[in-house]
Amino acid sequence: MASQQFHGTTPPPQEAWQTDTALGHEELGLLNRYWNAANYLTVAQIYLQENVLLHEPLRPGHIKPRLLGHWGTSPGLSLIYVHLNRLIRRTAAKVLFVAGPGHGGPAVVANLYLEGSYSEIYPAVSQDAAGLRRLVRQFSTPGGIPSHVGPATPGSIHEGGELGYSLAHATGTVMDNPDLLVACVVGDGEAETGPLAASWKAPAFLNPARDGAVLPILHLNGYKISGPTVLGRQSDEQVSALLAAHGWDPVVVSGADPAAVHRQLAMALDYAFARIRRFQDSARNHGASEPARWPAIILRTPKGWTGPGIVDGIHVEGTFRSHQVPLSGVRENPEHLALLESWLRSYKPEALFDDDGRLLPELAALAPAGSLRMGVGPWAHGSTVKPLPLRPLEDYALEIGVPGATKHETTRPLGEMLRDIYLDTAQDPRFRLFSPDETNSNRLGAVFEATERCLMEPVLAGDDHLSPDGRVMEVLSEHLCQGWLEGYVLTGRHGLFATYEAFAMVSASMTVQHAKWLQHARELPWRNPVPSLNILLTSTCWRNDHNGFSHQGPGLIDTVLSLSGSVIRVYLPPDSNTLLATAEHVLQSKDYVNLVVVDKQEHPQYLPLEEARRHAAAGASTWRWAGNEQQGSSSGPDIVMACAGDVPTEEALAAAWLLQRHVPGLTVRVVNVMDALVLPPPDVHPHGLSEAAFEELFTQDTHVIVAWHGYARTVHQLLHGRRNPGRFHVRGYNEQGTTTTPFDMVVLNRMSRYHLAVEALHRAGGQHQGAQELATYCQEMLTKHEEYVLAHLEDLPEIRDWVWSPPQQQRTDG
């Protein structure tokens, strides 16, 4: 263990050294006992099912049959929690606690129990002997609570299971939350991950004039599960230099002697808090134009501190061997049972709790009062959500005449809508757009009429809408964009993450984890709904002309579809007005992961606003104007052309047009699907159409040619449970692509209008006049295209005009 020390890159300010702020002898004693209580309850949760206060000698029957949990990080988490309690009592600061090593769940639960907030939320876990017994028995047990910090943990917005996102979550949480301080514990394991490594950039994006503060506490205990960590093995100077290079002002607290560490940590927190308040005061009085050198604490304490030192002759405390359950087989091994008993008794439970299991009053007094306790902060429980002001969509809607006759960059009106949200929340900011530097590229640039890109670095002459006061968050890290947004929405604000479709897979795992969080959180009555996580994919596989194969991947749709239907939604609006209707819905929705996929380029526009609203509300509709069924006819179509997504819709419409023009005897219906989750049966997803509604669209037995934005086989997954699914013939992205023309993309993936029309003729059957001619024509066009591709290196024709412009659609139903 490194020597005990207190050093920052700048000397602590005077106030941190004043007598009245230093930790006195008596307070230290109390504080240490409180910490003992937290550690005691942590060990008790992992091991005990009876005799929780050791009122009798420990017997095998008192031990749980399955020993699960993580001890190693727990004493450190409790140490930090206890000291934050002290800070809150002294300063009345509003503090939210993020436990990066969230697998130390029992430690956080122990502290919540000690401060009383746990019992308020879970009355059965009362502050008495019966509650204590329930506290330990519920841990890591079927029907009880999970071993990690998670939704069920009061005061938390972060599950420390998948490591990497604690600091990003903390950073998003303080944005537009000027009074909040987020104490973010980062374990040295997590510090090895990529997302966490990127998160140290936070000072470049946090403005002390309007944002709250993140206080990172890098808690180094030296080890992961079975090996050392890189930072854990480096010197204090090296680790300090790293944080300093990232723009932080690191303070080291290090040691294995509790009293010394208590004193150092108290001093470090006082120093950090004073420094934070100074930055904030200065920025709020004088503005801020460069990154604040925020304090950060590097805390080095032994892994499994205060636990068994040596077990079976092997060192456990201070090594990786204390990571999970330091003593195994306790029921069967009398020696381990004795070790456990002496470990538990080392905390002197009789000096912590009264006979009925109540924390002694002098210790209970160390917790902050009422609403300042970290377990009841309103930010974490969705209690601070305010609605998002939305102007009427009429302000942004495109005028539509003949459907498909005009083209427009589909996402541009959405940019205007977001601009007005920025304008209308300027006095009470609660909306942000997050993107890896693609706001303009995604045609959302209208937002820059209302705000700017945020960066706390010098603004140069050539910069485009850049300012420390901007609220458009651009950083070339999907992990940061999404992590910041997750922190922002989980604490009750609203936002949108706009990114390249293919690279949304970079943070796919975060999407999975967020959905899992929501799925459990929404079942907890004391958690209020929070704004949804909205992900907009705007540079899609079909239109990545500049970039090619690496940028073509619609996989996030599949990842999202696998998750619980209670929390996931997938929208594929075909044009601008349906996108607006979708946006209006998702921006007001709560507790969902909304995935919206639509391309940013110029595309044909189809639906006037009112139709778009109806279509969006239905999720899927027959576009009568695009087919040739007689109104009132009951005979049904010969073929259904279904489509989902902008490019597939254009191809399907063109195919339908070709069919009607060349084969007038064929009755064609066009169905557009913009909510992917209408396809499965209603028992699979709440949006699933009833059997009757489904067959109203797709008939009972007609063949359906589906042009689908993503992987074709996804549709078969969605259709499982529908009657007669074999009649659906799906074309979609099939991992064929390169840097090429949009038309070549649909040809390579066999989803072109010609492919669709040929498939439709094949499936419709019968002998329709003109069918053979159309099939021949389609084949000729595809051959012509192939010749073009083969010949272009010798003679480069224009391709857009002769195959890419869509046939105009006639609106036949009014």
d(CA 272, CA 295): 5
As a whole number of angstroms, the distance between CA 504 and CA 593 comes to: 13
Separation CA 394–CA 574 (nearest Å): 18
Q: With binding defined as CB under 8 A, does residue 675 bind a second copy?
A: no
Least Å distance between CB 621 and a second copy? Answer: 25
Q: Does 691 bind a second copy (CB under 8 A)?
A: no
Check binding of 792 to a second copy (CB under 8 A): yes
Per CB under 8 A, contacts with a second copy among 288-317 are 315
- Can you name the residues that pair with 182 across neighbouring β-strands? 96, 214
Q: Is 295 exposed, middle or buried (0-12, 13-18, 19+ CB in 10 A)?
A: buried
Which residues contact residue 489 at a Cβ distance below 8 angstroms, ignoring those fewer than 6 apart?
495, 530, 531, 532, 533
E runs forming strands in 290-411: 295-300, 310-311, 314-315, 407-409
Q: What share of the chain is helix, strand, coil (3-state, %, to 5)?
A: 40, 15, 45
Kindly tell me which residue out of 408, 432, 516, 603 binds a second copy, with binding defined by CB under 8 A.
516
Q: Using the rule CB under 8 A, which residue among 758, 788, 809, 811 binds a second copy?
A: 788
Nearer Cβ to a second copy (399/464): 464
Considering beta carbons, is residue 123 or 142 the nearer one to a second copy?
142
By beta-carbon proximity to a second copy, the closer residue of 246 and 373 is 246
Using CB under 8 A as the binding rule, whether residue 545 contacts a second copy is answered as yes
DSSP structure class, residue 550: G
Q: How many other CB atoms are there within 10 angstroms of residue 10's CB atom?
A: 13
Strand partners, 214: 182
Q: Give least dist CB 124 to a second copy, A.
A: 8
Instruction: Please select the residue that binds a second copy; options are 89, 90, 277, 520, rule is CB under 8 A.
Output: 520
Geometric angle at alpha carbon 79, from 323 and 252, rounded to 5°: 90
Per-residue tokens: 454:
């945020």
Positive or negative CA dihedral for 189, 190, 195, 197?
Answer: negative
For a second copy, which is the closer residue by CB, 264 or 477?
477
- Find the binding residues for a second copy in span 583-622 (CB under 8 A): none
- Which residues, 399 to 458, sit near a second copy by CB under 8 A? 436-441, 453, 455, 457-458
Interface with a second copy (CB under 8 A), residue from 156, 171, 193, 264? 193
113/66 Cα distance (integer angstroms): 23
Tokens representing residue 584 in the block: 């209006």
Cβ pair 156, 184 in contact under 8 A: no
Segment 159-178, which members bind a second copy (CB under 8 A)? Answer: 159, 161-164
Interface characters, 559-578, with a second copy (x: CB under 8 A): x-xxxx--------------
* 713 part of the interface to a second copy, by CB under 8 A: yes
Q: Are 592 and 533 in contact (CB under 8 A)?
A: yes
Is residue 799 within the footprint of a second copy (CB under 8 A)?
yes
Q: Is 204 in the site for a second copy (CB under 8 A)?
A: yes
Using CB under 8 A, which residues numbered 31 to 70 contact a second copy?
49, 64-66, 68-70
317: nearest Cα among 326, 410, 95: 326
Of 632, 635, 793, 814, which lies in the binding site for a second copy, with binding defined by CB under 8 A? 793
- By CB under 8 A, tell whether 201 contacts a second copy: yes
Least distance (Å) from a second copy to the CB of residue 52? 13
From candidates 421, 506, 642, 677, binder to a second copy by CB under 8 A: 506
> Of residues 90-109, which lie at the interface with a second copy (CB under 8 A)?
103
Q: Is 224 in the site for a second copy (CB under 8 A)?
A: yes
Among 195, 216, 255, 648, the residue binding a second copy under the rule CB under 8 A is 195
- Applying CB under 8 A, does 784 fall inside the site for a second copy? no
Strands (E) in 645-791, as ranges, are 668-673, 704-711, 728-733
Residues between 323 and 352 that touch a second copy (CB under 8 A): 324
Interaction residues for a second copy, span 721-760 (CB under 8 A): 725-726, 735, 738-741, 744
CB of 684 to a second copy, least distance (A): 8
**Binding a second copy by CB under 8 A: which of 2, 259, 405, 789?**
789
Spatial distance between the Cα atoms of 74 and 176, rounded to a whole number of angstroms: 31
Q: C-beta of 301: minimal distance to a second copy in Å? A: 16
Interacting residue with a second copy among 292, 444, 475, 678 (CB under 8 A): 475
Q: Does 790 bind a second copy (CB under 8 A)?
A: yes
For a second copy, which stretch binds (CB under 8 A), given 262-270, 383-391, 602-610, 787-795? 787-795
Cα–Cα distance, 529 to 494 (Å, whole number): 12
Residues linked to residue 434 through DSSP beta bridges, in sequence order: 473, 497
Rounded to whole angstroms, how far apart are CA atoms 677 and 569?
Answer: 7
Decide: helix, strand or coil at residue 622: strand
When asked if residue 385 is in the footprint of a second copy (CB under 8 A), the reply is no
- DSSP lists the bridge partners of residue 95 as 181
